[in-house]
Structure 1
Amino acid sequence: MAYNANLIPAAELSAKNKARFPNESPEYREARNHLLTEEIELRRHVERVAAHRRALPPGGEIPEDYVFEGSNGAVRLSQLFGDKDTLVIYSMMFGPQRERACPMCTAMLTSWDGTARNLRERVALAVTARSPIKRLLDFKRERGWQNLQIYSDLKGDYTRSYISPDDGDIPGLTVFARGGGKVRHFWSGEMNDEMADPGEDPRGAPDLDSLWTILDLTPSGRGATWYPKLEYPSLATIT
């Protein structure tokens, strides 16, 4: 969708809202319509940012065709594209120094596993980490991931070039584009701890994990101290 600068004011659109719910007060409806105006503006800002991103000049050509280890052996970055012109790579926090994978990365990738079935119709998607491939594939089986393609960057050349120059075990999302016989860097998430707002965990925008997007819709929000875990106590069966 192309961004359209000739838009009806958001407040004018929200004034057309006919939604009403049982026993709501006039104060609730007034506040909700005001919030609706802000939500329309947020949607438009997301579109503006996406349009700016798509308009980026060509990024730098990759300095080498990095080699990863997959379930069937060595594979180069250019091969990860398959028949697509765009490649999305997520680098998860699961280096050899970690006993277990990062719970935050795991939670997000679990939601991505379902999305990947549709996403791969438009772009290629790969997940990489610095641990040996057997360890990564064992974890993939443990989590029940069916659609994510996992690769090991055991040598770390790709990680040091595009994620962390000092080979830190940090997450990263990078998008590459292929055209004219070349593979170029298109975009990477660049928000870090130094760019976090007061009282907030460092994160990029838009949020890549639907977990947080849904919690943002709830009365208590994301919470100040709650984070995903790899395992939770068994829940009683709801009848």
Structure 2
Amino acid sequence: MTKDLVPAAELAQRSPVRFPNESAAYRAARTALLAEEIELRRHLERVAAQRRALPPGGEVTGDYRFEGENGPMGFADLFGGHQSLAVYSYMFGPQRERPCPMCTNLLGALEGNGADIQQRMALAVVARSPIERLIAWKKERGWKNLKLYSDLNGLYSRDYHGVLPDGSEIPSFNVFTRRDGTIRHFWSGEMTGDSADPGQDPRGAPDLAPLWNVLDMTPEGRGADWYPRLSYET
């Protein structure tokens, strides 16, 4: 399929887009960038296809117990009627006075798309705080589409990298499948600090948080000294 694609540089040259008062130098540089953006889009498609083609992951066999807004649940219950389940490990354990601002920013974006996402798959947010605390926080944020669960025995968080061996929390995003009654791990974001490039915070690709993607489109970029907060002065 790839060999039949029109070269990205040729597609970029075909673009009819022009803006008032732009210089020839700007247009030449923008056209070169457009070719790279087309290549990036194609690379993302190749990565997604490679991800979908992964062999079956490990079977989920742990004694994972959760409590949701409607009571206790097992791991299989998180799927509802879907075959795929995404679980975000929220850095909001009982030792935290307030949850992680970075996690909260990302979840705010998932909240906005939650109703749409859950037409195609199940989506769960797991944290180690008691469910009453999670419900209160959900109400404070005005979230309606996210389903929050307390990891009652902490086993899920430990096995699927929401908690490090020393007990500290890290964000984790895992996808699971259920086929013919068997639940398996499918994929997880595995870009940690060990795989970060120099000068970068650890992050995956593509970045799930719209915040950073939007900032990447500005002259200032993401910067190196700013992070989202849980609230701002009005």
The TM-score with structure 2 as length reference comes to 0.96
CA offsets 1:81-104 (integer angstroms, 9 cap, x no match)? 111100000001111111110000
Distance in 1 (alpha carbons) for counterparts of 2:205 and 2:3: 21
Distance in 1 (alpha carbons) for counterparts of 2:164 and 2:213: 31
Distance in 2 (alpha carbons) for counterparts of 1:20 and 1:43: 21
- Deviation at residue 170 of structure 1 after TM alignment: 0.9
Distance in 2 (alpha carbons) for counterparts of 1:17 and 1:195: 36
CA 1:64 to 1:5, structure 2 compared with 1: closer, same or farther past 3 Å? farther
After TM superposition, the structure 1 = structure 2 runs for residues 27-106 of structure 1, keeping only pairs within 5 Å, are: 27-64=25-62, 66-106=64-104
Distance in 2 (alpha carbons) for counterparts of 1:214 and 1:67: 37
- Deviation at residue 30 of structure 1 after TM alignment: 0.2
After TM superposition, the structure 1 = structure 2 runs for residues 135-214 of structure 1, keeping only pairs within 5 Å, are: 135-163=133-161, 164=163, 166=165, 167-214=167-214
Report if aligned partners of 2:88, 2:173 keep a CA contact under 8 Å in 1.
yes
Report if aligned partners of 1:65, 1:78 keep a CA contact under 8 Å in 2.
no
Q: Which runs of 5+ in 1 are unaligned?
A: 235-239
SS at match of 2:177: strand
Q: Tell me the amino acid that sits aligned with residue 99 of structure 1.
A: E
The TM-score with structure 1 as length reference comes to 0.94
Q: Tell me the amino acid that sits aligned with residue 48 of structure 1.
A: R
SS at match of 2:173: strand
Distance in 2 (alpha carbons) for counterparts of 1:54 and 1:12: 29
Distance in 1 (alpha carbons) for counterparts of 2:89 and 2:8: 38
1:111 equivalent in structure 2: 109
SS at match of 1:15: helix
Q: Which runs of 5+ in 2 are unaligned?
A: none
- Deviation at residue 8 of structure 1 after TM alignment: 1.1
CA offsets 1:178-199 (integer angstroms, 9 cap, x no match)? 0011000000111111111011
What percent identity do the matched residue pairs reach?
A: 59
Q: Tell me the amino acid that sits aligned with residue 57 of structure 1.
A: P
Distance in 2 (alpha carbons) for counterparts of 1:154 and 1:192: 26
Detail structure 1 runs of 4+ shifted over 3 Å in the superposition.
none
- Deviation at residue 224 of structure 1 after TM alignment: 1.2
Segment of structure 1 superposing worse, 30-39 or 167-176: 167-176
Q: CA RMSD in A?
A: 1.1
- Deviation at residue 123 of structure 1 after TM alignment: 0.4
Distance in 1 (alpha carbons) for counterparts of 2:12 and 2:229: 39
CA 1:92 to 1:197, structure 2 compared with 1: closer, same or farther past 3 Å? same
Distance in 1 (alpha carbons) for counterparts of 2:3 and 2:221: 32
Segment of structure 1 superposing worse, 30-39 or 154-163: 154-163
SS at match of 2:14: coil
Distance in 2 (alpha carbons) for counterparts of 1:168 and 1:181: 33
CA 1:65 to 1:5, structure 2 compared with 1: closer, same or farther past 3 Å? farther
SS at match of 2:149: strand
- Deviation at residue 10 of structure 1 after TM alignment: 0.4
SS at match of 2:153: coil
Report if aligned partners of 2:192, 2:203 keep a CA contact under 8 Å in 1.
yes
2:120 equivalent in structure 1: 122
Distance in 2 (alpha carbons) for counterparts of 1:179 and 1:74: 23
SS at match of 1:128: strand
CA offsets 1:90-134 (integer angstroms, 9 cap, x no match)? 001111111110000001111110111100010000001111111
- Deviation at residue 165 of structure 1 after TM alignment: 5.2
1:224 equivalent in structure 2: 224
1:20 equivalent in structure 2: 18
SS at match of 2:159: helix
Report if aligned partners of 2:87, 2:125 keep a CA contact under 8 Å in 1.
yes
Q: Tell me the amino acid that sits aligned with residue 21 of structure 1.
A: F
